[in-house]
Amino acid sequence: MATIVSEQSTISKEYSTSIEGVADVEIRPQISGYLQKILVDDGAYVKAGQTLFIIESSIYREQYNTAQANLSSAKIELDRKKELAKSKIVSSLQVDQAEAAYKGAQAQVGSARINLNFCTIKAPVSGYIGRVGYRLGSLIAPSNPTPITILSDIHKVNAYFSMSENDFQTFQSQYPGKNILKNSPKVNLQLSNGEEYEIAGQIDAVNGQFDSNTGAITLRAKFDNPKTILRSGSTGKIIMKQVNNNAVLLPIASTMGVQDKIFAFIVDKQGKAKQIEVKISGKTGTKYIISEGLKPGDTYIVSGFDRLQSGTPVTAQKTAKI
């Protein structure tokens, strides 16, 4: 027999994660028109400001030229009205109207210039081009349900994962205070092929509330990605070490499994064996971490209980502490 004592334990917890670039930008047209040029390939790396696509611009160039002509006419008319006003041939109201028309023409030129510039679609950030969903000659518009492509900035990536309420309470107890992220732990990332990513990440965001459907809360860890090994849409597992200073540990060899339940034998106050179910929250080395069923000071039977039944008197041959 042996006596349960509380100990410090360190376990590694795994959480499934999905990876996104720090900026996954949808590239969409801001005007309607036919796609005239595609200047990038799927998966290409582009720099911020680089031209990606060109929309056929003749109609917008014509609108711009027309607006420029209207502006010139409005300027001439305004200058003429101002000269006539000096001789009292026209009223100040007519001058004001000419000035308003001139400002309106200026606004039309500005709007036409913006639309003409929108014919050239440039990269807002540096990153990798996703699949281009349109081909040359396709009619594209701001109302299209799908973007032309998605541009991913992956020099850093965000790994999102969910944690149960129990695990989150343990996490909070290790990093107390309002700003639990200030000293949050480093975490590791296991890739989908089972290999461990070479750079540790840092938890930098926690959702404000639990999901009422799943009972879990979402956290975000950020990883540097200088070799662009990680890509948006990748999956893996977050590996986080959790320390419990008062863990109840029980040797795995001192338990027995029946279907999906784990049992152990303790010695009650009458010195008789009693079979109990224990709840497992994890394991460290050759021991289970017990969340329910045992507490410090309980005496359990180490071994030799294969044919033991509850209620059988037991005699200690050697008492130890684990």
Average pLDDT, the chain: 89
Which class is domain 10-21+154-244?
Answer: mainly beta
User: Of the CATH numbers 1.10.30.50, 2.40.420.20, 3.40.250.10, 3.40.50.300, which one belongs to the domain with range 2-9+246-321?
Assistant: 2.40.420.20
Query: Rounded distance, CA 69 to CA 305, Å?
Result: 99
State the pTM of this model.
0.65
Q: Which residue has the higher pLDDT, 113 or 246?
A: 113
- Residue 132 in tokens: 């281009």
Q: How confident is the model at residue 63 (pLDDT cuts 50, 70, 90)?
A: very high
Q: State yes or no: pLDDT of 319 exceeds 50.
A: no
pLDDT digits (tens, 9 = 90+) for 258-285: 888 998 888 888 888 888 888 887 777 7
Q: Is-contact 46 123, C-beta < 8 A?
A: yes
% of the chain residues with pLDDT over 70: 95
pLDDT digits (tens, 9 = 90+) for 11-40: 788 999 999 999 889 999 999 999 999 999
3-state secondary structure of 251: strand
- pLDDT score of 148: 97
Which class is domain 29-54+122-146?
Answer: mainly beta
Helices (H) and strands (E) in the chain, counts: 3, 19
Cβ neighbours around 302 below 10 Å, total:
18
| Residue owning tokens 């969340």 | 291
Domains 2-9+246-321 and 10-21+154-244 share a fold: no
Domain boundaries, given as residue ranges, for the chain: 2-9+246-321, 10-21+154-244, 29-54+122-146, 57-118
Domain at 57-118, CATH homologous superfamily: Helix hairpin bin (1.10.287.470)
